[in-house]
Amino acid sequence: QVQLVESGGGLVQPGGSLRLSCAVSGRTSSFYAMGWFRQAPGKGREFVAAIRWNDDSTYYADSVKGRFTISGDNAKNSVYLQMNGLKLEDAAVYYCHAGNSLVVVTKGLGDYWGQGTQVTVSS
């Protein structure tokens, strides 16, 4: 069993920054990549960023490249999403996700999801 718990969401002005965290517990050997998704009201869940644990390879959605950075600790205890230059369209519930590979995670097909943390971008 794996549990993912997100934190760090909140209210920020456009252009501001937030750092999301995802605490991982349980059988961490059962997955090899993690990522972040987001879902805005009335929209589907969309991929944001992913990281592969064995070599720290990362992958980003075009909409966040150059602004967001995904990282994690070597023990697979936590994964982070540093969000800079936030825009109004970044407002959403952000979900942590874990799966067997980078491809699986970027497609949202992994076995594990967190409950989400709200990010609000407003002036």
pLDDT in tens, 29-57: 888 999 999 999 999 999 999 999 888 99
Which pLDDT value is given to residue 40?
97
Residues in contact with 28: Cβ distance below 8 Å, sequence separation at least 6, in sequence order: 2, 75, 76, 77
Which pLDDT value is given to residue 54?
86
Q: How many CB atoms lie within 10 A of CB 53?
A: 19
Confidence band, pLDDT 50/70/90 cuts, at residue 72: very high
* Cα gap 100→32, rounded to integer Å: 5
The 10s digit of each residue's pLDDT in 81-116 is: 999 999 999 999 999 999 999 999 999 999 999 999
